[in-house]
DNA sequence: AGGATACGTGACCGTTTGGTCACATGTCAA
DNA sequence: TTGACATGTGACCAAACGGTCACGTATCCT
């Protein structure tokens, strides 16, 4: 499985995107803290965090008996650079074409 | 299921991303034409195209006995605007912070 | 020391997903 | 009009996924 695929798959679940949002608001939270924001058992949240870690979207650091979770925006940046960007360019050129057609009609 | 979720889920499969790439190269292809590029039966490809259509990433038009498929970059643009963009900003500011720290060390 | 706290593992289970197939419908062209 | 072609439907199956639970380990605090 390629890196991009891990990231795309990780982003495919709404609970995981919500976790990213939580960490976006405030970093360095523990598992129990994140769990308290979700209607789900600790184990479910743990599994999701695992997927996010494997994709590199979350980086965790042990501190005593706690595990602190941090957001890593770099995979999303890379995804954008080598995949999403080109489709946005097409969107832009599509808009430009439409603009030209409208002007030709006038 | 929200629109964003449909798009994320559609993008989560490598075969579907490959189909988008094919349509990005050249639009308006028929199902059989797309099938010939994949190691998969026609039915598998049909299912994937269905998912892409439901997410709005592909728009199809019937022409006689053929069905022509077109790429629609707008959902990706929207996804970027209201989701991916903010994580890229954090990436940018993280880079800026790193730069500052390096300069302070000098 | 010992109880409370925070996290981890493996098994388990229902649902979704990716893929195939038999069969059916609509369309073109001689 | 008949045969070849292009797409569609529903059933089916194995694998992956989302989620829970019983149990276990490490750490803190008094």
For an interface test with B, which of A7, A16, A77 has the most B Cβ atoms less than 10 Å from its Cβ? A77
| DSSP assignment letter at B2 | -
Chain B residues closer than 8 Å to A80 by CB: 80, 84, 88
Distances (CA, A) of A25 to A19, B14, B15, B38: 10, 30, 34, 42
pLDDT digit string (tens) for A8-32? 999 999 999 999 999 999 999 999 9
ipTM reported for the complex, 2 dp: 0.91
- Chain B residue with minimum CA distance to A2: B14
pLDDT at residue B31, as a whole number? 98
Ordered per-residue pLDDT tens for chain A, 106 residues: 788 999 999 999 999 999 999 999 999 999 999 999 999 999 999 999 999 999 999 999 999 999 999 999 999 999 998 899 998 888 878 788 878 878 887 7
pLDDT digit string (tens) for B29-61? 999 999 999 999 999 999 999 999 999 999 999
B80 CA to D17 C1' in angstroms comes to 26
Domains annotated on chain B, with CATH: 3-105 (1.10.10.10)
């Amino acid at each position: 499985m390629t890196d991009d695929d891990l990231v795309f798959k990780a982003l495919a679940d709404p609970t995981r995107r919500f976790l990213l949002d939580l960490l976006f608001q405030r970093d360095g939270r523990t598992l129990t803290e994140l769990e308290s924001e979700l209607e789900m058992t600790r184990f479910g949240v743990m599994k999701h965090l695992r997927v996010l870690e494997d994709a590199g979207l979350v980086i965790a650091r042990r501190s005593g008996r706690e595990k602190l979770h941090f957001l890593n925006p770099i995979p999303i940046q890379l995804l954008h650079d080598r995949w999403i960007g080109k489709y946005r360019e097409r969107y832009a050129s599509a808009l430009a074409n439409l603009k030209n057609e409208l002007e030709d009609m006038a």
